[in-house]
Amino acid sequence: MQSIHGEKSLNMARILVLDDEENMRRVLEVLLQKDGHVVDQAQDLAAARRILAAEACDLVLADQRLPDGEGLALVPECRAMEPPVPVILLTAYASIDLAVSALREGAFDFLTKPFNPGVLRGAVHRAFEHVSLLRENLRLKNELVRLNATGDLVGRSPAMTRLRELIGRVAPASATVLITGETGTGKELVARAIHQSSARSSKPLLIVNCAAVAEQLLESQLFGHERGAFTGADRAHRGFFEAADEGTLFLDEAGEMSLGLQAKLLRVLMDGEVMRVGASSPRHVDVRVLVATHRDLQRMVAEGRFREDLYYRLNVVPIPVPPLRQRREDVAPLLEHFLVQVALEMKVPRRRVSSAALARLTNYDFPGNVRELRNLVERAYILGRNELLEAEDFSLAAEPASSVAEDPLGPVLSRLPESINLREVLEDLERALLHRALEQSGGVQAEAGRQLGLSRSDMVYRVRKYGLESETR
Ligand SMILES: Nc1ncnc2c1ncn2[C@@H]1O[C@H](COP(=O)(O)OP(=O)(O)OP(=O)(O)O)[C@@H](O)[C@H]1O
Ligand SMILES: [Mg+2]
- Evaluate whether 14-146 and 158-322 have a shared fold: yes
pLDDT for the residue numbered 4: 37
Q: Where are the beta strands (DSSP E) in 22-104?
A: 38-42, 59-63, 65-66, 69-70, 87-91
Top-level class of domain 325-393: mainly alpha
Top-level class of domain 403-471: mainly alpha
Q: Which ligand is nearest to the CA of 192?
A: 1
- Which helix (H) or strand (E) segment is 448 a member of? helix 445-452
Mutate which of 183, 188, 331 for ligand 1 pocket (most atoms within 8 A of beta carbon): 188
Q: Where are the alpha helices (DSSP H) in 276-330?
A: 297-302, 308-314
pLDDT for the residue numbered 2: 35
Query: How many residues appear in the chain?
Result: 473
pLDDT for the residue numbered 400: 46
Mutate which of 205, 370, 378, 421 for ligand 1 pocket (most atoms within 8 A of beta carbon): 370
Give distance in angstroms: CA of 207 to centre of ligand 2.
Answer: 10
Choose the weakest-confidence range: 12-16, 51-55, 77-81, 423-427: 423-427
CB of 337 within 6 A of ligand 1: the answer is yes
Give the ligand 1 atom nearest the CA of 192.
Answer: 18
Q: How far apart are CA 320 and CA 179, in angstroms?
A: 6
Give distance in angstroms: CA of 416 to centre of ligand 2.
Answer: 16
| Residue ranges of domains in the chain | 14-146, 158-322, 325-393, 403-471
CATH domain 14-146 topology: Rossmann fold (3.40.50)
pLDDT for the residue numbered 9: 45
Top-level class of domain 158-322: alpha beta
Mutate which of 156, 319, 371 for ligand 1 pocket (most atoms within 8 A of beta carbon): 371
Q: How far apart are CA 120 and CA 128, in angstroms?
A: 12
Q: DSSP string spanning 392-435? A: GGGT--SS-HHHHHTSTHHHHHHHTTT---HHHHHHHHHHHHHH
Choose the weakest-confidence range: 347-351, 422-426, 461-465: 422-426
Residue 281 predicted with pLDDT over 90: yes
Protein residue with least CA distance to atom 23, ligand 1:
184
Q: How far apart are CA 300 and CA 311, in angstroms?
A: 10
pLDDT for the residue numbered 439: 86
Give distance in angstroms: CA of 370 to centre of ligand 1.
Answer: 6
CB of 379 within 6 A of ligand 1: the answer is no
CB of 181 within 6 A of ligand 1: the answer is yes
pLDDT for the residue numbered 441: 85
* pLDDT (tens digit per residue) in 315-354: 988 999 999 999 999 999 999 999 999 998 888 889 999 9
Residue 273 predicted with pLDDT over 90: yes
CB of 189 within 6 A of ligand 1: the answer is yes
Give the ligand 1 atom nearest the CA of 190.
Answer: 18
